[in-house]
Amino acid sequence: MTGAMQADRRRVSIFGATGSIGQSTLDLIARAPSAYEVVALTGGANVDRLAADAIRLKAGIAVTAYPERLHDLRARLAGSGVEAAAGEAALLEAADRPADWIMSAIVGAAGLPPGLRALRHGTVLALANKESLVCAGPILMAEAARHGATILPVDSEHSAVFQALRGEDIATVEKVVITASGGGLRDWSLARLPHATPAEAGAHPNWDMGQRITIDSASMFNKAMELIETHEFFGLPPERIETIVHPQSLIHALVQFCDGAMMAHLGAPDMRHAIGHALHWPTRQDLPVARLDLAEIARLDFAAPDPARYPALALAERVMATGGLAGAAFNAAKEVALDLFIGGRLPFTEMAPLVERVLDRMAAEGCLEAQGPTLDMVLQADRLARDRAADLAGTYETPRRAGQMP
Ligand code: NAD
Ligand code: MG
């Protein structure tokens, strides 16, 4: 390959390459291998997949988050010319490697430090990791502005809003409505919800996603995160952001303007839409996604979310009203509650009360207040919320176990 051809290739890195979003991103990139130079791929424990993809896409480096997996990763990459590395420092070092476009698709607060680091280099950051905005929205947005970096939303709802806002003045937006499928337990009676198992909550009617976000869809913690994400990314006040249950997941978001016009974004429930939009932005290019047949779809349904079924939504309102470190605490407590639910140690319906109690405790301790929090303060609030959640969760285990009636 000549130097000129090399220079034409876009340098891309994918953080969380082995996950659901990461694999969909690689699918798009692998369709046009001559267009991209893969700088870095990162993953977690699944080093088989990470190494296979790194070799297939001729990545410069493959990084596993877990140092104990480095030996296996090295063995799989032996003789391939792909470098191997492990651990948090290696993730940051990978984020320092020059790239034109970086996908942030690690799940959880662990995605924040590498994404933030990448922004320092003025890159385009395709942001699937919504936790970054929930925990540290103002820090992330300020860092992007400081270094002339661009953040593009990859969450389907936020990509939809972003597209509906193209060429519009944000000051003319009356409200943004993000849609919610209602999740896998949408039609269950309230009395049955405490008995939901991780497998039941982890089956989504429309989207094929990672396990954690799928369960978060059933509890609407995912939508709660997305309300906060909308607030942080678009700078809209909470009272101008709504969610509506739309079981078909074909409209991803709507923007209502001051003249009463509502722009809706429709598309098949396939994350390659939002990923591809961010990959090719500011242009549009063909994407291998299904086209909608409106006559066959025939109808689109909507319903207001029931606050008793989805208490996480009210917690999002509280987080937005509190600001400061509330987002970091909320996300961390939610991650612990989700771990406990997945481990069979907390009923589905106790996740939101646990998160609420963590917020209550930290508010009473004065630990949520902060003017212009720094990354260190965010990480400290994250650790404190995990400790508080673990403490408070213990009190649930005696009276109520997963599968028992409340
Ligand atoms: P996933 O669980 O399928 O994949 C997560 C990736 O992160 C994997 O590569 C895993 O190895 C890596 N990872 C996990 N823990 C890590 C850690 N501690 N340090 C470093 N890497 C770690 O998740 P996903 O469904 O692809 O979601 C990724 C992100 O995108 C999440 O923030 C999610 O909310 C968001 N998102 C996902 C979808 C979707 O359709 N899956 C849609 C919108 C937004
Ligand atoms: Mg979403």
Whole-number pLDDT of residue 405: 33
Whole-number pLDDT of residue 205: 85
Mutate to test the pocket of ligand 1, among 15, 18, 20 (most ligand atoms within 8 A of CB): 20
Q: For the domain that residue 139 is a member of, what is the CATH number?
A: 3.40.50.720
User: Confidence band (pLDDT; 50, 70, 90) for 109?
Assistant: very high
Give nearest CA residue, ligand 1 atom 9: 16
Burial degree of 399 (CB within 10 A; 0-12, 13-18, 19+): exposed
235 alpha carbon – ligand 1 mean position (Å): 25
119 alpha carbon – ligand 2 mean position (Å): 22
Mutate to test the pocket of ligand 1, among 14, 18, 21 (most ligand atoms within 8 A of CB): 21
In this structure, is residue 53 part of a structural domain?
Answer: yes
In whole angstroms, how far apart are CA 82 and each of 48, 56, 364, 366?
14, 10, 50, 48
Q: Are 133 and 111 in contact (CB under 8 A)?
A: no
pLDDT digit string (tens) for 188-207?
A: 999 999 999 999 999 988 88
Whether the per-residue pLDDT at 399 is higher than 60: the answer is no
Whole-number pLDDT of residue 8: 85
In this structure, is residue 91 part of a structural domain?
Answer: yes
pLDDT cut 90: percent of the chain above it? 93
Whole-number pLDDT of residue 6: 54
User: Confidence band (pLDDT; 50, 70, 90) for 7?
Assistant: low
Tokens of 40: 């870095």
Mean pLDDT of 108-115: 96
Q: Are 39 and 97 in contact (CB under 8 A)?
A: yes
Whether the per-residue pLDDT at 312 is higher than 90: the answer is yes
Whether the per-residue pLDDT at 395 is higher than 80: the answer is no
Q: Could you give the CA distance from residue 291 to residue 272 in angstroms, rounded to a whole number? A: 13
Whether the per-residue pLDDT at 3 is higher than 70: the answer is no
In the predicted model, what is the mean pLDDT of the chain?
95
Whether the per-residue pLDDT at 287 is higher than 90: the answer is yes
In this structure, is residue 83 part of a structural domain?
Answer: yes
Report CA 244 to chain centroid distance, whole Å.
19
Give nearest CA residue, ligand 1 atom 40: 209
Pairing of strands 262-266, 251-257: antiparallel
Mutate to test the pocket of ligand 1, among 106, 131, 216 (most ligand atoms within 8 A of CB): 106
In this structure, is residue 276 part of a structural domain?
Answer: no
Give nearest CA residue, ligand 1 atom 7: 106
In this structure, is residue 398 part of a structural domain?
Answer: no
Give nearest CA residue, ligand 1 atom 43: 155
69 alpha carbon – ligand 2 mean position (Å): 31
In this structure, is residue 99 part of a structural domain?
Answer: yes
Domain that holds residue 132: 3-153
Side-chain-facing half-sphere of 381: CA atoms under 13 Å: 30
Pairing of strands 36-43, 61-64: parallel
Residue ranges of E strands in 267-345: none
Write out residues with Cβ below 6 Å of ligand 1. Answer: 16-22, 43-44, 65, 105-108, 110-111, 128-131, 155, 207, 209-210, 212-213, 271
Residue ranges of E strands in 135-260: 150-153, 173-180, 241-245, 251-257
Contacts of 402 (CB under 8 A, 6+ apart): 195, 197, 341, 344, 345, 346, 347, 348
20 alpha carbon – ligand 1 mean position (Å): 7
Taking residue 142's Cβ as centre, other Cβ atoms within 10 Å add up to 13
Structural domain count of the chain: 1
Residue 274 main-chain phi, psi, to 5 deg = -70, -40
Smallest-distance ligand from the CA of 216: 1
Give nearest CA residue, ligand 1 atom 23: 210
Whether the per-residue pLDDT at 61 is higher than 70: the answer is yes
Q: How far apart are the first and last CA of the chain?
A: 66
Q: Given the CA of residue 91, which atom of ligand 1 is nearest to it?
A: 20
Q: How many Å is the Cα radius of gyration of the chain?
A: 21
Give nearest CA residue, ligand 1 atom 36: 128
In this structure, is residue 43 part of a structural domain?
Answer: yes
In this structure, is residue 145 part of a structural domain?
Answer: yes
Contacts of 225 (CB under 8 A, 6+ apart): 130, 131, 134, 216, 316, 331, 334
The DSSP bridge partners found for residue 104 are 15, 127
* DSSP-assigned letters across all residues of 113-153: HHHHHHHTTT-EEEE--HHHHHHHHHHHHHHHHHHT-EEEE
Q: Given the CA of residue 222, which atom of ligand 1 is nearest to it?
A: 34
- Residue 35: closest CA among 272, 290, 276: 276
pTM of the model: 0.95
Whole-number pLDDT of residue 207: 85
Q: Could you give the CA distance from residue 117 to residue 273 in angstroms, rounded to a whole number? A: 26
